[in-house]
Structure 1
Amino acid sequence: MSGVIVTGPPRADARDIEALAGYGVATVSEAMGRKGLVGPELRPIQQGVRIAGSAVTVLSWPGDNLMIHAAVEQCGEGDVLVVTTTSPSTDGMFGELFATALQRRGVRGLVIEAGIRDTQELREMGFAAWAKAVSAQGTVKATGGSVNIPVVVGGQCVRPGDIILADDDGVVVVPRERVRETAEASGAREAKEAEARAEFQEGRLGLDRYKLRGKLADLGVRYASYEEYAGETGA
């Protein structure tokens, strides 16, 4: 497998990325029209951590982390390393030594559609990671691959420079051209949710706030007392 290492991909404005970082994965995905979510197979190795940054992408051979070494050189302040393989893999391709090198370069975290190891050490050093598997199985450095090309991770296309937002709920990908508008839409959605939260705290029901009683009726859902239901069904 030959490959390419692309240098200097386009990036979103840092101020727009920071604005987007204030919102959760669920909010951002909803603000984009329920798009961008990476599959639920990628789970965080820590809790209570949220990151947002520009994607540096890696396409590797399964069980081979050579291209992750190549990608470190392309990473900088505020980036998120995104790794996938040419076919499914759960080998532990990334660990504490990689994290040490990336942390030194200001990288905010890792999203990997493969295995990760040294998870205790990663948590202790504060390096955030989302992975498909935790595995102590080691890897080799023998096959070429690519860095900073479009890749597919969890069913989502990730281009170099797209924004990765990750938290306890998972990972969402925001196209680099849509960062500002997505941040604005996320803010509007959060304001709307704040209004709903205040009403729920006062005791209002979602059935009434969202005018769902009519929908229930339109769908043929009716109310019946227990006695009525028992008489009809013999329950």
Structure 2
Amino acid sequence: MTRPVVITDIARADAATAAALGAHGVATVHEAMGRTGLVGAGIRPIQTGARVGGTAVTVLSWPGDNLMIHAAIEQCREGDLLVVTTTSASSDGAFGDLFATALKARGVRGLVTTTGVRDTADLRDMGFPVWSSAVHAQGTVKATPGSVNVPIVVAGATVRPGDVIVADDDGVVVVPRERASTVLSAADARVAKETADREAYGSGRELSLDRKGLRPLLAELGVEYLTQADYQARDDDGA
């Protein structure tokens, strides 16, 4: 680990933009951003139905030690989302309901962590959404320095302080702070297109094959349409 620091004056993406990206959800934002930014599938929600967007306050800790989460709470403000990782893999329950109580009081929208969490029933009851690598009651110590608000890597995705984090039942995606407004515009356009697609499919007027112009692609790839009798005859002939 580099020299331990707590950065106190991070630049954040616009809060309204982060919230709007959160409303669109992970799949839409991921597609709108060119299918980039996804956190690995090992980070999963402990609840269902939560959908949030917030600005990242990052924590880099030692495994089995939650000292720097305590330090990070002071740096959090309304609209943030706490993102925690460790210098090597750790499933210890570094986060529980007391941390969530303090963060919720500061307007923090949730937690994404590569560590384990505990008190999960309490977290769900209090409506504090969490995405983690594990649920584990193993406790941690408070003994080793780390850093707050430095760039970190979370399940393969780089997260910088102030970036937008979108999280829901599908997982987590990271939107670089400087791209947030552009990605939001692309996500808005994608939602409008999908709304029109949904209406067309729901009415039965069109198939996705035709609306998306996929029939020529099937032909180009050599896909044939046969009756069952033709297919069986070809199979019988050994073709």
Whether TM-score is above 0.5 comes out as yes
Kindly provide the amino acid, as one letter, of the partner of residue 189 in structure 1: R
Q: Report the identity percentage.
A: 62
2:75 match: 74
Q: Measure the CA separation in 1 of the matches of 2:22 and 2:42.
A: 22
Counterpart selection for 1:232 from 209, 228, 234: 234
Q: Measure the CA separation in 1 of the matches of 2:235 and 2:182.
A: 53
**Secondary structure of 1:161 counterpart:** coil
Q: C-alpha offsets along residues 5-49 of structure 1, whole Å, 9 cap, x if unaligned?
A: 111100122232233232111111111111111111111111111
List aligned pairs for 1:13-162, cutoff 5 A: 13-162=14-163
2:5 match: 4
Following superposition, the deviation at residue 231 of structure 1 comes to 2.4
Deviation larger for 132-141 or 15-24: 15-24
Kindly provide the amino acid, as one letter, of the partner of residue 52 in structure 1: G
Following superposition, the deviation at residue 51 of structure 1 comes to 1.0
Q: Measure the CA separation in 2 of the matches of 1:85 and 1:74.
A: 18
**Secondary structure of 1:21 counterpart:** helix
Following superposition, the deviation at residue 189 of structure 1 comes to 0.5
**Secondary structure of 1:198 counterpart:** helix
User: Normalising to structure 1: TM-score of the pair?
Assistant: 0.96
Q: Measure the CA separation in 1 of the matches of 2:232 and 2:142.
A: 68
Q: Measure the CA separation in 1 of the matches of 2:150 and 2:42.
A: 22
Q: C-alpha offsets along residues 36-70 of structure 1, whole Å, 9 cap, x if unaligned?
A: 11111111111111111110000111111111111
Q: Measure the CA separation in 1 of the matches of 2:33 and 2:10.
A: 23
Q: Measure the CA separation in 2 of the matches of 1:224 and 1:14.
A: 55
Q: Measure the CA separation in 1 of the matches of 2:108 and 2:15.
A: 14
User: Normalising to structure 2: TM-score of the pair?
Assistant: 0.95
1:201 match: 202
Q: CA RMSD in A?
A: 1.3
Kindly provide the amino acid, as one letter, of the partner of residue 203 in structure 2: E
Kindly provide the amino acid, as one letter, of the partner of residue 226 in structure 1: Q
Following superposition, the deviation at residue 232 of structure 1 comes to 2.3
Runs of 5+ consecutive residues of structure 2 not aligned to the other structure: none
Following superposition, the deviation at residue 143 of structure 1 comes to 1.1
Q: C-alpha offsets along residues 184-211 of structure 1, whole Å, 9 cap, x if unaligned?
A: 1111010000111111012211111111
Q: Retained in 1: the 8 A contact 2:15–2:55?
A: no
Runs of 5+ consecutive residues of structure 1 not aligned to the other structure: none
**Secondary structure of 2:11 counterpart:** coil
Q: C-alpha offsets along residues 67-125 of structure 1, whole Å, 9 cap, x if unaligned?
A: 11111111111110000011111111101111111111111100001111110000001
**Secondary structure of 2:30 counterpart:** helix
Kindly provide the amino acid, as one letter, of the partner of residue 232 in structure 1: R
Detail structure 1 runs of 4+ shifted over 4 Å in the superposition. Answer: none
